[in-house]
Amino acid sequence: GRPKTVEINGKTYPTDPWFNVPSSVLSLTSRKLHLQKDHPVSITRKIIESVFPASTYRYYNTFDPVVSTYENFDSLGFPPDHPGRARTDTYYINESTLLRTHTSAHEAELFRSNPTGGYLISADVYRRDEIDRSHYPVFHQMEGARYWDRSKVPHGDLAAAVLEDLGRLPRHDMTVQDPSPPFHAERNPLQPHHGPAEAEAVGAHLKRSLELMVHEIFTRARKAAVLAEGAAPQDKPLEVRWVEAYFPFTSPSWELEVHYQGDWLEILGCGVSQQSLHIHAGKPDQVGWAFGIGLERVAMLLFQIPDIRLFWSQDERFLSQFRGVEDHLDRLRPFEPFSKHPPCYKDVSFWLGSSSAAGGGLGGAADWHDNDLMEVVRDAAGDCVEDVQLVDRFTHPKTGRKSLCYRINYRSLERTLTNAETNEMHQRVVDGLVKRFGVEIR
Ligand code: PHE
């Protein structure tokens, strides 16, 4: 059964039938890796902060992860049926209280209360998700916003004010592909509140600021790799590209992708903030931009960290490699993996109940979600699973019943698992599936 209340960072919250936070996730709410000195997530935060001067951007790093459903979704214009709100995707404490899924949950409040023309937040965020080397139910985001007050701009020419600031941003050695127009009536519209010149200027300031940030990160990553491997410095320029995107709280919107080891890698989302947010914040004259970036994703590139579970490791062989770097960024070096332990693959195959099954449809084919299995696996095996894949799916031609087979890779980052240990964890997965979802094991 579910607990009546839960305590998070010293505060007590009542649960209701929406509650779906496993204790393993609850226990991570106090870790705050982004504030742990010399942790790679904290070092990455510092590098990004260094690009956004404290004279303009105020830094907020201690906001609590518990927010209201209103703050996380409604205040940002998410429609009532947005898939992100589903209990399969989001950790709820109760219907109106959840673990924030993104740092944008604090936008509405900061647009009202932040005393300067911009801010940066870093924080832990929570999402129910698959299990593999780049997904973990808790990760860290950094969000930035910058805005200008139309009523304080001389002659009311906001575009000129924005562009003047832009002139001070240094030039840098990277190639930028930006094939789409500054806005597009169907795909990426200008907001009715904004004039074309000011929206274009705000968009340009946003893009140049983030290009500068990415340049800073990758210059540091390349220097570190050269120093570690004694290789010749790279003379190829860094390649990035802007791709049109959609977020309910910005328009126009973009994602920034970086060319890395032969692939285009999406690293952040951003856009011109919806004017309705500034208006609701009681600041109708403010106009500006916002972005959000995943810190682990950046840290994995920066330090060549191969598995996201490592960030939560308390193993000295991991932590000691970053000591002293936060105050001396020139000492940054790629992570050297310690010996990899053998993988152990185990399959679990089962029949789902019929889609018309009673009992709230538990185990019903129509309600089944991969994330349900992921959570059973995390509960049973903690961080000892490297990844989980759906390897087979089958519908019985006569009964119409659905069968699924998942392959679980048991592999600890820290030690070799014994057979007995792996079998025990796998048995807990099987039992958990039967008990929680009423599936029939094949
Ligand atoms: N919050 C968005 C996400 O988590 C990122 C974002 C932030 C997009 C700010 C636009 C502006 O995907």
Distance between Cα 168 and ligand 1 center (Å):
26
Is 188 inside a domain boundary? yes
Closest ligand 1 atom to 291 CA: 9
Is 400 inside a domain boundary? yes
368 in the same domain as 241: no
Using CA of residue 120, residue 206, residue 137, residue 246, what is the dihedral sign? Answer: positive
Check if the beta carbon of residue 408 is closer than 8 Å to that of residue 393: no
Is 8 inside a domain boundary? no
How many residues does this entry show for the chain? 442
Q: What is the pLDDT of residue 355?
A: 47
355 in the same domain as 232: no
Q: What is the pLDDT of residue 364?
A: 59
Tell me how many domains the chain contains: 2
Distance between Cα 269 and ligand 1 center (Å):
5
Whether 271 is in the pocket of ligand 1, judged by its Cβ within 6 Å, is yes
Is 175 inside a domain boundary? yes
Whether 294 is in the pocket of ligand 1, judged by its Cβ within 6 Å, is no
ipTM of the complex: 0.99
**DSSP for residue 191:** P
312 in the same domain as 225: yes
Is 91 inside a domain boundary? no
**Residue 419 belongs to a domain with what CATH number?**
3.30.70.380
Domain that residue 364 falls in: 344-441
Closest ligand 1 atom to 294 CA: 4
Q: What is the pLDDT of residue 360?
A: 41
Distance between Cα 255 and ligand 1 center (Å):
9
348 in the same domain as 315: no
354 in the same domain as 286: no
Final residue in a domain of this structure, among 331, 361, 393: 331
**DSSP for residue 34:** G
410 in the same domain as 354: yes
In 3D space, the residue among 371, 347, 441 whose CA is nearest the CA of residue 403 turns out to be 441
3-class state of residue 291 by DSSP: strand
Q: What is the pLDDT of residue 237?
A: 84
d(CA 170, CA 212): 8
**DSSP for residue 158:** H
3-class state of residue 48 by DSSP: helix
Closest ligand 1 atom to 104 CA: 1
The tokens for 7 are 């305590």
Final residue in a domain of this structure, among 307, 331, 355: 331
358 in the same domain as 315: no
Query: End-to-end alpha-carbon separation of the chain, Å?
Result: 27
d(CA 242, CA 177): 6
Outline where 306-365 has alpha helix (H).
316-319
* Digitized pLDDT (tens) for each residue of the chain, 442 residues in all: 899 999 999 999 999 999 999 999 999 999 999 999 999 999 999 999 999 999 999 999 999 999 999 999 999 999 999 999 999 999 999 999 999 999 999 999 999 999 999 999 999 999 999 999 999 999 999 999 999 999 998 888 999 999 888 876 766 688 999 999 999 999 999 999 999 999 999 999 999 999 999 999 999 998 888 888 776 776 678 899 999 999 999 999 999 999 988 899 999 999 999 999 999 999 999 999 999 999 999 999 999 999 999 999 999 999 999 999 999 999 999 999 887 899 999 999 999 985 444 344 455 566 899 999 999 999 999 999 999 999 999 999 998 899 999 999 999 998 999 999 999 999 999 999 999 999 999 9
The residue to mutate among 73, 135, 143, having the most atoms of ligand 1 within 8 angstroms of its beta carbon, is 143
52 in the same domain as 111: yes
Q: How far is CA 359 from the centre of its chain?
A: 34
369 in the same domain as 262: no
Is 74 inside a domain boundary? no
Closest ligand 1 atom to 253 CA: 10
436 in the same domain as 307: no
> Closest residue (by CA) to atom 6 of ligand 1?
292
Q: What is the pLDDT of residue 311?
A: 97
d(CA 435, CA 362): 10
Final residue in a domain of this structure, among 331, 354, 375: 331
Distances in whole angstroms, Cα of residue 358 to Cα of each of 240, 335, 367, 433 = 52, 51, 12, 17
Q: What is the pLDDT of residue 173?
A: 81
Is 88 inside a domain boundary? no
Whether 102 is in the pocket of ligand 1, judged by its Cβ within 6 Å, is yes
274 in the same domain as 155: yes
Is 72 inside a domain boundary? no
> Closest residue (by CA) to atom 4 of ligand 1?
102
213 in the same domain as 107: yes
**Segment holding 215, helix H or strand E:** helix 196-229
